[in-house]
């Protein structure tokens, strides 16, 4: 039996005994019982009233009723209240701790509610945006009024974030990004990427400058070597060394060319608009080049969808195709076949070069696109590779939101496939007119 009921029953029974005794003593049974009944109801009502006052927190009633069911009830209520308070204190402590942690983060963080009003912000946000504590509750766009930012805020597509070259008069590069979180709320995170930006810039400049500086001396060396080769006797002992020197200097030149391509690719010089690139036409031209490169030693087969064009950057795409084709020619033994395909399916457009060459072991596949990474050092130098070809390919494909997929089996050959997304595909109708 519940404690409350048993306490109440004890009270009723005790009261009844007293009433019975009183009735027996006086003989006024009806009045006594009626009195008992009325007293019981009055006491209940009084206790209910007190209990209500106490729960409301009235100052007139500092203690809850102390007998019967109501005593038990108030005991339970106050116990529950205490545990709730404890829980709330713990929650408060936790949230305080969390806020304190967010304060120490070096990036600026501002939390916005669904109306873009500031909820809280950390110390660096205060510094960068020059916010005051009274600014909580104000809309972010009234205090940070950069038109580009307002547009970004309204766009609802926060994806990549935005880069600002200066913020509140500070000429530093900042990366702003909004993250939707917790229902309709947003988190604005601002990173100072000035150092990073500068570093990348310096690295790019260095590569570009160094390659440029190396070019001139190489041209001179090359020129003299050619003259010397032409002018010596055919049976001279110098012929072989000179030829090798010439070959190596030529290789050095192509490395530098590749480095320059790569650095120009990275320094985002391709900021121009994407254009429609007539891939079938390019591949037609490339077929001739490929035949020349292999000197007719390979069976090169082109299978091109003539109606399939691509939206992108023409010159970079050419260098992707050329790199992959020349790789295949370089690593395929004589009289073996090379198959180049340009086709499209549900997923998008694909450029595929399939060779039956020496193949690549599994462990190398993931590192192929690293700069100067070589599977077989001795061999690839013989064939005149620069070690940068696939790095360039990867960069260009990233720019086209395309992917490079390589599958290979040792001894059987490899397949290099570029997957272009569907949105880049353009179908040509009047190819005959071109």
Contact 388, 263 (CB under 8 A): no
365 sits near other proteins (criterion: CB under 8 A)? no
Q: Interface residues for other proteins in 150-169 (CB under 8 A)?
A: 150, 166, 168-169
Tokens of 65: 């009723």
Q: Cβ closer to other proteins: 142 or 236?
A: 142
Q: Pick from 70, 121, 124, 135: which binds other proteins (CB under 8 A)?
A: 135
Work out whether 80 is an interface residue with other proteins (CB under 8 A). no
Whichever of 26 and 168 has its CB closer to other proteins, that residue is 168
Q: Does 147 bind other proteins (CB under 8 A)?
A: yes
Q: Does 138 bind other proteins (CB under 8 A)?
A: yes
Q: Is 272 a residue that touches other proteins (CB under 8 A)?
A: no
The reply to whether 126 sits near other proteins by the rule CB under 8 A is no
CB of 120 to other proteins, least distance (A): 15
CB neighbours of 34 closer than 8 A, spacing ≥ 6? none
Out of 55, 77, 143, 426, name the contact with other proteins by CB under 8 A: 143
Please, which residue, 148 or 276, has the CB nearer to other proteins? Answer: 148
Looking at the Cβ atoms of 136 and 222, the one nearer to other proteins is 136
Among 132, 275, 367, 379, binds other proteins (CB under 8 A): 132
Residue 137 touches other proteins, criterion: CB under 8 A:
yes
Alpha-carbon distance 103 to 133, whole Å? 14
201 binds other proteins (CB under 8 A): no
Q: Is 141 in the site for other proteins (CB under 8 A)?
A: yes
Binding footprint of other proteins on the chain (CB under 8 A): 117, 130, 132, 134-135, 137-139, 141-143, 145-148, 150, 166, 168-169
């Amino acid at each position: 039996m519940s404690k409350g009921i048993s306490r109440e029953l004890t009270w009723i029974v005790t009261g009844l005994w007293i009433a019975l005794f009183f009735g027996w003593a006086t003989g006024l049974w009806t009045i006594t019982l009626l009195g008992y009944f009325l007293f019981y109801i009055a006491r209940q009502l009084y206790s209910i009233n007190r209990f209500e006052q106490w729960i409301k927190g009235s100052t007139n009633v500092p203690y809850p009723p102390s007998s019967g069911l109501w005593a038990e009830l108030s005991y339970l209520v106050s116990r529950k209240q205490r545990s709730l308070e404890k829980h709330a204190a713990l929650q408060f402590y936790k949230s305080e701790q969390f806020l304190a942690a967010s304060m120490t983060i070096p990036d600026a963080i501002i939390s916005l509610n669904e109306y873009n009003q500031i909820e809280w912000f950390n110390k660096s946000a205060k510094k960068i945006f020059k916010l005051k504590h009274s600014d909580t509750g104000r809309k972010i766009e009234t205090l940070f009024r950069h038109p580009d930012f307002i547009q970004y805020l309204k766009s609802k597509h926060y994806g990549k974030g935005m880069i600002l070259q200066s913020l509140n008069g500070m000429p530093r590069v900042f990366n702003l990004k909004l993250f939707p979180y917790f229902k309709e709320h947003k988190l604005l995170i601002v990173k100072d990427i000035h150092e990073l930006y500068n570093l990348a810039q310096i690295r790019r400049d260095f590569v570009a400058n160094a390659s440029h500086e190396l070019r001139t001396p190489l041209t001179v060396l090359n020129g003299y070597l050619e003259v010397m080769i032409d002018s010596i006797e055919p049976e001279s002992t110098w012929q072989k060394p000179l030829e090798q020197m010439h070959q190596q200097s030529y290789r050095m030149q192509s490395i530098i060319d590749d480095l320059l391509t790569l650095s120009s690719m990275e320094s985002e010089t391709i900021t121009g608009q994407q254009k429609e690139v007539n891939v079938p036409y390019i591949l037609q031209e490339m077929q001739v080049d490929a035949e020349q490169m292999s000197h007719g030693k390979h069976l090169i087969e082109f299978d091109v969808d003539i109606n399939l064009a691509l939206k992108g950057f023409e010159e970079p795409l050419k260098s992707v195709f050329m790199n992959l084709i020349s790789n295949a020619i370089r690593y395929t033994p004589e009289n073996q076949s090379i198959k180049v395909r340009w086709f499209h399916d549900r997923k998008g457009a694909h450029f595929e070069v399939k060779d039956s060459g020496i193949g690549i072991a599994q462990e190398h596949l993931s590192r192929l696109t690293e700069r100067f990474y070589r599977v077989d050092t001795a061999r690839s130098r013989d064939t005149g590779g620069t070690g940068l070809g696939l790095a360039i390919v990867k960069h260009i494909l990233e720019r086209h939101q395309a992917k490079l997929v390589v599958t290979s089996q040792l001894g059987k050959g490899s397949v290099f496939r570029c997957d272009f997304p569907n949105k880049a595909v353009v179908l040509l109708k009047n190819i005959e007119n071109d």
